[in-house]
């Protein structure tokens, strides 16, 4: 009887780690914080550490999304509003200054010998 590709055996590796101390103790939290603060990216090439980070991300990604996503959206909305209002402000400022209405020097600043600045 010929085995189909769906039922054929394939090699796999099973990894088991005791990581309860990382999740439950202050030493584990300090360990993860030190890895985060080290700046050495070679730590993240370690396979057991990748598994721990993947597990923690799967567990906490919704909490991260619920806390960080609203702040991210609020910052972008604030930036967009800032751009809109600054555009209106500058448009009004330029319109009231009447730059380009026949007077080439309108809105320019002259510096006189006395050191003061006066608008023409």
What sign does the dihedral 95-100-103-105 (CA atoms) show?
A: positive
What sign does the dihedral 17-22-23-25 (CA atoms) show?
A: positive
* Residue 118, beta-bridge partner list: 110
Give the long-range contacts of residues 48-52, CB within 8 A, separation 24 or more: 48/15, 48/17, 51/15, 51/17, 52/17, 52/19, 52/22
The mean per-residue pLDDT over the stretch 77-105 comes to 79
Tell me how far apart the terminal alpha carbons of the chain are, to the nearest angstrom.
Answer: 99
pTM exceeding 0.85: no
State percent of the chain over pLDDT 90: 25
Mean of per-residue pLDDT scores for the chain: 79
For residue 65, what pLDDT is reported? 92
- Strands (DSSP E) along the chain, which ranges? 109-111, 117-119
The mean per-residue pLDDT over the stretch 91-97 comes to 80
């Amino acid at each position: 009887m010929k085995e189909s590709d769906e039922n054929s055996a394939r090699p796999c590796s099973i990894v088991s780690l005791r990581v309860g101390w990382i999740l439950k103790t202050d030493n584990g939290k300090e360990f993860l914080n030190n890895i985060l603060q080290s700046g050495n990216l070679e730590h993240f090439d370690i396979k057991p550490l990748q598994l721990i980070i993947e597990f923690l991300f799967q567990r906490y990604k919704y909490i991260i999304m619920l806390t960080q996503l609203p702040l991210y959206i609020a910052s972008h909305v604030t930036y967009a509003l800032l751009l809109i209002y600054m555009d209106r402000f500058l448009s009004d400022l330029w319109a009231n200054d009447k730059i380009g209405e026949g007077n080439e020097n309108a809105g320019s600043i002259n510096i006189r010998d006395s050191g003061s600045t006066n608008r023409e």
